[in-house]
């Protein structure tokens, strides 16, 4: 079910949640990127006299309400957080779900600095040839640096001023799946003083949808070797064993090795494999409790 509100001839799709409350911002304006829809989820017993950690999630349309998503699936983040809190496994938190712009999702989520280390001819070739189901992936040049400026310089300050948050690094987390996992990883590498932990589900290491003559994975690995923050942070990764997730295991092992070289241990670095899981919201819903427990453990 969803509410449909008419405002300035625009339909607002407000998610219904089973637990807690949603504050829906249909157009959060930015000087860095186009306006995005934001859903701020507050826990059931939200109290402005308390301060809460904050989890920022990408692809926000699919986080809370399955009726807003074409495949009628959702992450069930509100239900899972409420259950884990009731079981005394995690701390209550605020969730900020950032809706994507379907037209420019790849341009916003693709790590910009690693990509721009490639030769101009290689960049242009990727821009012109990268497709999925015969549709171009990039409808503009990559501007994920501006997307992260939007989150860190505009959205986060607003959240910290409007809500009772623990705004420090240790209590600020960012997460996503697929390319949303990639931009989350990029965010903590670019802004290690802002984000204290990250969860990357089914991280789309190839970046595009081919491994043939694809220079990006190596470029991203090189970037991580020099930009992965020191081990004061928490890193969660996972991948499935079906569909496109089968291409991730090799790259994930390489990333894990980089983590070891940076002296990360099981206390702050966790990689899980789910052999029966594919690349879908349904699969991520079934395991969202693992990154939540890892990042928000009491």
pLDDT in tens, 12-53: 688 989 999 999 999 999 999 999 999 999 999 999 999 999
For 84, half-sphere exposure in the C-beta direction (CA atoms, 13 angstrom radius) is 24
* Per-residue pLDDT, 97: 98
- 239-290 tens-digit pLDDT: 999 999 999 999 999 999 999 999 999 999 999 999 999 999 999 999 999 9
Q: Where are the domains of the chain?
A: 2-296
pTM: 0.94
Q: By three-state DSSP, how is residue 274 classified?
A: strand
| Selection from 139, 140, 237, 124 nearest residue 188 by Cα | 237
The band of 155, judged by pLDDT with boundaries at 50, 70 and 90, is very high
Residue 212: other Cβ atoms inside 10 A = 4
- Please, are residues 233 and 193 in contact by the beta-carbon 8 Å criterion? no
Separation of alpha carbons 179 and 204, rounded Å = 5
Q: Tokens for 62?
A: 């699919």
Report pLDDT digits (tens) over 74-105.
899 999 999 999 999 999 999 999 999 999 99
| CATH number of 2-296, picked from 3.40.50.1820, 3.40.630.10, 3.30.428.10, 3.40.640.10 | 3.40.50.1820
9: pLDDT strictly greater than 80: no
């Amino acid at each position: 079910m969803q509410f449909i509100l008419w405002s300035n001839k625009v339909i607002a799709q407000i998610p219904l949640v089973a637990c807690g409350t949603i504050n829906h911002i249909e157009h959060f304006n930015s000087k860095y990127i186009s306006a995005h829809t934001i859903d701020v989820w507050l826990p059931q017993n939200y109290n402005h006299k308390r301060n809460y950690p904050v989890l920022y999630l990408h692809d926000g349309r699919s986080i809370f309400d399955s009726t807003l998503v074409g495949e009628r699936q959702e992450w069930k983040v509100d239900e899972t957080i409420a259950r884990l809190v009731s079981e005394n496994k995690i701390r209550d938190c605020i969730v900020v779900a950032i809706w994507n712009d379907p037209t420019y999702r790849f341009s916003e989520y693709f790590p910009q600095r690693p990509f721009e280390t490639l030769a101009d001819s290689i960049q242009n070739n990727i821009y012109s040839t990268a497709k999925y189901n015969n549709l171009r992936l990039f409808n503009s040049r990559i501007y994920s640096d501006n997307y992260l400026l939007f989150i860190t310089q505009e959205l986060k300050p607003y959240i910290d001023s409007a809500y009772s948050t623990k705004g420090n690094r240790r209590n600020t987390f960012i997460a996503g799946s697929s390319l949303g996992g990639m931009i989350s990883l990029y965010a903590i590498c670019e802004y290690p003083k802002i984000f204290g932990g990250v969860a990357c589900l089914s991280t789309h290491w190839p970046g595009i949808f081919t491994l043939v003559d694809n220079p990006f994975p190596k470029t991203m690995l090189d970037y991580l070797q020099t930009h992965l923050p020191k081990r004061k942070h928490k890193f969660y990764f996972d991948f499935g064993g079906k569909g496109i997730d089968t291409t991730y295991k090799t790259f994930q092992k390489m990333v894990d090795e980089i983590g070891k070289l940076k002296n990360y241990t099981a206390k702050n670095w966790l990689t899980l494999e789910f052999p029966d899981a594919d690349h879908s919201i349904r699969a991520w819903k079934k395991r969202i409790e693992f990154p939540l427990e890892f990042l928000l453990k009491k």
